[in-house]
Structure 1
Amino acid sequence: MEFIRPFRHGSELSQQEKWKLERHPLEVAAAVRTTYARLGPDAIAKVPGEVERLKWVGLYPQRQGGDAFMLRVKVPGGRLSAAQARRIGEITDELARGPEPHPVWGDRYCDITTRQTVQVHWLRIGDIPEVWDRLEEVGLTTVQACGDSARNVSCCPVAGIDADEAFDASPVARAISDYFTGNRAYANLPRKFKISVTGCLDDCARAEINDVAFVPARRTDGLLGFNLLVGGGLSDGPRIASDIDVFVAPQDAPECARAIAQLYGELGNRENRGVNRFRYLVQELGPELVRDEIESRAAVELRPAGEALTRGYRGDHVGVHRQKVVDGDDRDLHYVGCSVTVGRMTGADLVALAGLAEQYGDSTLRLTADQNFVVPGIPGDRLESLLAEDVLSRYSPTPGPFSRGVVACTGNEFCRFAIVETKVRAAQWAREMDEQFALAADCDAGHAARDGSDWGDGVVRMHFSGCSASCAQPQIADVAFRGETAHVGESIVEAVDIGLGGGLGPEAGFARWVAGAVPVDDVPTALTAAMQRYLVERRAGETFRSTVRRLGAEVFAGDLGRRGLPAEPAGGRARPTAARPTAARPTVPRTDETTRRDTP
């Protein structure tokens, strides 16, 4: 896709768009290798827009400044070979060292993200070429893990082995990822572009909050494929993706994704980055016109949607689960889902897990959207030995309901935009709630908690984002935290807005923000009161989310210590979409006209 100017008249490109026009962002990879690794971060600062371009090769400067960078590794569908997991762990253990150990996490750690990628912190720019080479040796890349392009393609983490899936969609996720990665034609979109693909029945890829989502469906002639959803997302303008009445055969999914990216590249807002995610364009045009615009660009026929097969929202894969029989292999195989509290683990532990995957399983690890991992292919007679391994005592397949469901973004430990610290607090709050309300060893679905109750589906999902950007996806959580500040006496302290009742699947809906600017020191008491109310008010087998929705989130507001929450609609702070004319649309080259691909 050639660089294009916005089709609106009399407007001005954003500064980021001007930088992208000056030099294609993917070209920053060569500069890192030849110049910045040798001269250091000061050389980056001398080039206008270069810090922004670094995102296209997975690099972000850390909050600390200087020679400290985060590197994000793409993991399509969350699927890692043992060799790939080991390599990331080795790089983390050898190179991800801060100036001093963190008081809680220590040193040499990495983070699993909500898009099934891995982030490594405290890297030096001089080490990046070596890191890229070592990742490439095992088939990994950081290209377009960030930046205004197609990000890591999400997929059900147990695709191909889930006993209840409609079909294995992982080859489609991989094909879409391969098409966009390094493809200069589609590496300059208005903003980030998130795609999910799944053939499972439980919305594991979180379709409703992606820009483009392929969800399982059955056509009237029995063909299994996907229905197409577009325009989902979170942040300050959350929106549930729209069903645009399209059935996509698996082999046609990459072309449909390409056509949608072309539409976004042509008509997306390149002036105001605050309102230019794809969902704003979908909201402006409406689902019917969006369908027409995709059809005019796609090289495949768009057929009417099939029977939707999604039945619920599972949310995680923690615990021991029987795998389906594949290609006549009727061995007694299982996958084991393990909880990584707030997604953080040491590089040494990741290396150890790679070894366990080879020793007990099928030599792969699967990363999940809830910042956990899965070890697949475990024979039934080896489960007991695997579960006794020391590393699983730190990443338990039988965690407490709160530790199991806690998710947190990087927070102000590293992120320049976060208002508050997230990971330490989220882990601490989850641990405190587990100690108060459940026996960690017996909290999985169907087991009793300390007071004789169960927790519905065995998990209470608490998601903590350090700002309104929603990297931890708080709006889809049972309990949502969004970083804020509060006045306490003469001081300004870290605080959170609190929302309740979010979730995905057929009954998708965003959390209702019901308490504003609650000081972080008051949160444990507020959580305790809310959970006590839930245990009193719930019906048999009812989840926390279901109870909140039945009673209304506002019923819990007093328990949470409500403070002056800004007026806003349910689901988040809405921003108005900018009006756009629909004339004078520029022509964008077709797929076959530009095929150059870039690697770092």
Structure 2
Amino acid sequence: MSIETAEEPARAGHAERAAEGARARPPRPSSRPNGQWKIDGTAPLNGNEEWKQVDDGLSVRDRIEKVYAKGGFASIDPTDLHGRFRVWGLYTQRKPGIDGGRTATLEPHELEDEYFMLRVRIDGGQLTTEQLRVVAGISTEFGRDTADLTDRQNIQLHWIQVEAMPEIWRRLEAVGLGTTEACGDVPRVILGSPVAGISADELIDPTPQIDEITERFIGDPSLANLPRKFKSAITGHPSQDVVHEINDVAFVAIDHPAHGVGYDLWVGGGLSTTPRLGERLGAFVPAERVAEVWHGVAQIFRDYGYRRLRNKARLKFLLAEWGAEKFRHVLETEYLSAPLLDGPAAPKPSTPGDHIGVHRQKDGRFYIGVTPIVGRVSGPTLAELADVIETHGSTRLRTTPHQKLVILDVPEENIDPLIAELDRLGLSSRPSLIRRGTIACTGIEFCKLAIVETKVNATNAVLALEESLRGLDLPHPISLHVNGCPNSCARIQTADIGLKGQLITNDAGEQVPGYQVHLGGGLASQDRDEAGLGRTVRGLKVEADGIAEYTERVVRRFLADRDSAADETFAQWAHRADEEALQ
């Protein structure tokens, strides 16, 4: 997979309609309990809550190693298979040959194959070449060479069999990697700035804060049964390069006029079928209190988050009900040792947050940001990449929240030879603005929730657009996000052009794979004046093989109509343009 997979099916025709504004409506009052532990008690109100209380999943690793790895797929308990395995980064993948029209009609066990997606957790995206080589070897030996970069800084492999997991864990943990709580209703991977500790213009290196959180709380049984997944992000870089607005909790570096450098606290962001951007709490968090505050927010989610309905069990719904002021009050009075100081918002970023290209580090060496097409790489590519990086004087690299890679510590004299080798591997440091801005989820190839293919369709579109738009003077990268279902793993509502997979009716009246179009979304790190969700145009859909044709048409219209004097962006134009211009 190239994007973090959704956990709850958004069945075709039954998904909630995505909110058009940046703020979701508060939930309607209900006479029924919401399953908030501190209010309603801890009695489980659905099947997921029942099995989590019996065994939240941390202990299933012992059964995988001692029972299932020996007995094979047929020996796996169904609740472990479809629930607890997630806590260790394992999902069953889609059985080949099942078309998207059947996604909504078959039960999960009918869709699944006897192979797994395995998510390797990489907090902060920080890797060594030794670690990369181990991941590459696992891909080649156990995963049919699959390896995809995700937009959560992880690497995902496919075709993994349960029999191989003890050896895979042995190899990963020998080099300091793992899969603990890579999926499930737990604290997921912590996004971190890909240039942490080396950028010449960062305000603070967030690595110590990420390390403290992961060492203290990942695998902590007290946080192993949350209402749903809990996503975190921390950046010390002024480009705000961790998509903080769509995380449950995020810390964005600021320079407080009275108290120096620390972090601005955000909570309650998330996309899926009901998108909602996070909110600032107006609180300044010193570096030494980040772990405490992170833990407080996670405990609020555990104790007050909604558990009765899975589709309402994200922190964004609690924030919508409480508001930022109450959320901060509860955090400070019930979970922190002392109140937080007030703090200012971070300035608008002046540079993109994907770090593509060549940049000087604070120590005089250089880092190089490169992009594969839609995050797709392979075991052999990663193994050769590790060799190439070492040959040119480095042993460190980073994954990014944009399906990219950043190679660190490159001596100046090795920049050009390394770029040539990276180009040979399909990793461009000077990509077209279309290639640079395109990401895609895993789609129907492996995902049980998908309706439409994504990786191949997006790749074909990028290659076609690089030809058809050659020579055009694009003022900014155009972000094109392609998703295989309504769950928005590819962040479709925050792209210039976001495509949501669904079955559509073509001109001949036939149902065919296609996409609903979202236009004009973006986040602070994507050259937006402020973060916002894309607009939908009623009836605007494209067929699966029509991505390039539609994108070319709308980009050419943008270039013809934009206010160049005001340096109008695609997102600004898309929100003011009439519907005819967007067809």
TM-score, structure 2 normalization: 0.86
Evaluate the alpha carbon distance shift between residue 278 and residue 163 of structure 1 in structure 2; reply closer, same or farther with a 3 A threshold.
same
**Amino acid in structure 2 at the alignment position of 1:201:** P
Cα distance in structure 2, aligned partners of 1:355 and 1:10: 52
How far 1:31 sits from its partner (Å)? Answer: 0.8
Secondary structure of the equivalent of 2:185?
Answer: coil
Partner residue, 1:94: 141
- Verify: 1:509 aligned to 2:532, yes or no: yes
Q: Deviations over 1:467-494 (max 9, x none)?
A: 1211111111111111111123353110
CA distance in 1, matches of 2:259, 2:53: 47
**Offset at residue 158 of structure 1 (A):** 0.7
Answer whether contact 1:163 1:322 (CA < 8 A) is retained: yes
Q: CA deviation at 1:540?
A: 3.6
**2:519 aligned with 1:500:** yes
1:538 lines up with 2:542 in the alignment = no
Question: Does 1:193 pair with 2:230?
Answer: yes
Counterpart secondary structure, 1:145: coil
Q: Which amino acid in 1 is paired with 2:89? A: G
Conserved 8 A contact 1:537-1:547: no
Matched to 2:84, the amino acid is R
Does structure 2 retain, via aligned residues, the 8 Å contact 1:247–1:302?
no
| Counterpart for residue 593 of structure 1 | none
> Counterpart of 2:187 in 1: which secondary structure?
coil
1:322 match: 360
Structure 1: where are the runs of 5+ without partners?
A: 98-107, 326-330, 439-449, 562-600
* Within-5 A mapping of 1:550-565: 550=573, 552=575, 554-555=577-578, 557-558=579-580, 561=583
SS at match of 1:308: coil
Which is worse superposed, 65-74 or 129-138? 65-74
Structure 1 residue 551: deviation in Å? 5.7
Match of 2:411 among 362, 379, 384: 379
Q: Do 2:434 and 2:462's aligned partners in 1 also have CA atoms closer than 8 Å?
A: yes
Change in 2 beyond 3 A, CA 1:542/1:235? farther
The amino acid that maps onto 1:180 is F
Question: Residues 93-118 of structure 1, C-alpha deviation per residue, up to 9 Å, x if partnerless?
Answer: 11112xxxxxxxxxx12111011000
The letter of the residue matching 2:266 is L
Cα distance between partner residues in 1 of 2:388 and 2:199: 21
Q: 1:386 to 1:130 in 2, by over 3 A?
A: same
Which residue number corresponds to residue 298 of structure 1? 335
Match of 1:257 among 288, 294, 297: 294
1:573 maps to none
- The code of the aligned residue for 1:161 comes to I
**1: distance between equivalents of 2:79 and 2:230?**
24
Q: 1:247 to 1:61 in 2, by over 3 A?
A: same
Using the aligned pairs only, state the percent identity: 35
How is 1:120-199 mapped onto 2 (pairs within 5 angstroms)?
A: 120-199=157-236
Alignment of 1:458-473 (within 5 A): 459-473=477-491
Describe the shift of the 1:35–1:43 C-alpha distance in structure 2 as closer, same or farther (beyond 3 A): same
Could you tell me which of 48, 51, 54 is aligned with 2:79? 48
Aligned-residue CA RMSD (Å): 2.1
Partner of 1:520: 544
Q: Report if aligned partners of 1:412, 1:420 keep a CA contact under 8 Å in 2.
A: yes
Q: Residues 62 and 543 (structure 1 numbering): CA distance in 2 closer, same or farther, change over 3 Å? A: farther
Q: Is the 8 A contact 2:503 2:511 kept in 1?
A: yes
Deviation at 1:214, TM superposition (A): 0.3
Quick one: structure 1 residues 541 and 81, their matched pair in 2 at CA, closer, same or farther if it must change by over 3 Å? Answer: farther
Match of residue 277, structure 2, among 219, 240, 243:
240
Q: Taking structure 1 as reference, are residues 258 and 530 closer, same or farther at Cα in structure 2, changes over 3 Å only?
A: same
Q: Aligned ranges for residues 399-418 of structure 1 at < 5 Å?
A: 399-418=431-450
- Which piece of structure 1 moves more, 304-313 or 68-77? 304-313
State the SS of the aligned residue for 1:291. helix
Which stretch of the first structure deviates more once superposed, 503-512 or 366-375? Answer: 503-512
Provide Cα deviations, 1:37-95, integer angstroms capped at 9, x if missing partner.
Answer: 11111222x44354211000000000113421010011010010111111001110111
Comparing 250-259 with 484-493, greater Cα deviation is found at 484-493
Q: Find the counterpart in structure 2 of residue 568 from structure 1.
A: none
Residue 384 of structure 2 aligns to a residue whose secondary structure is helix
Give the match for residue 9 of structure 2. Answer: none
* Unpaired stretches in structure 2, ≥5 consecutive residues: 1-34, 96-111
Change (3 A) 1:542 1:32: farther
How far apart are the structure 2 equivalents of 1:126 and 1:547?
49
- Between the two proteins, the alignment pairs up a number of residues equal to 526
Q: Does 80-89 or 46-55 show the bigger shift?
A: 46-55
Structure 1 residue 554 displacement after superposition = 4.8
Return the match for 1:485 from 491, 503, 511.
Answer: 503
Cα distance between partner residues in 1 of 2:41 and 2:399: 45
Which residue pairs with 2:250 in the alignment? Answer: 213
Partner of residue 154, structure 2: 117
Secondary structure of the residue that 1:33 maps to in structure 2?
Answer: helix
Task: Return the match for 2:369 from 328, 332, 337.
Answer: 337
Between the aligned partners of 1:357 and 1:8, the Cα distance in structure 2 is 55
Partner Cα distance (1:145, 1:23) in 2: 17
Q: Which residue of 1 is the match for residue 89 of structure 2? A: 58
Work out whether residues 349 and 391 of structure 1, in 8 Å CA contact, stay in contact via their aligned partners in 2. no
Q: Distance in 1 between matches of 2:459 and 2:81?
A: 35
Q: 1 CA distance for matches of 2:135 and 2:556? A: 42
Query: Hey, what's the Cα distance between the residues in 1 that align with 2:360 and 2:292?
Result: 34
Q: Secondary structure of 1:496's partner?
A: strand
- Paired amino acid for 1:387: I
User: Deviation string for 1:196-241 (max 9, x for gaps)?
Assistant: 0011111101111110010112233242100101001111111111
Letter in 2 for 1:58: G
Task: From the superposition, tell whether residues 36 and 559 of structure 1 become closer, same or farther in structure 2 (CA, over 3 Å).
Answer: farther
Q: Call closer, same or farther: CA 1:411–1:520 in 2, change over 3 Å.
A: same
Distance in 2, Cα, partners of 1:433 & 1:470 = 23
More moved, 163-172 vs 262-271:
163-172
Instruction: Tell me which amino acid in the other structure corresponds to 1:194.
Output: K
Local SS of the residue matching 1:552: helix
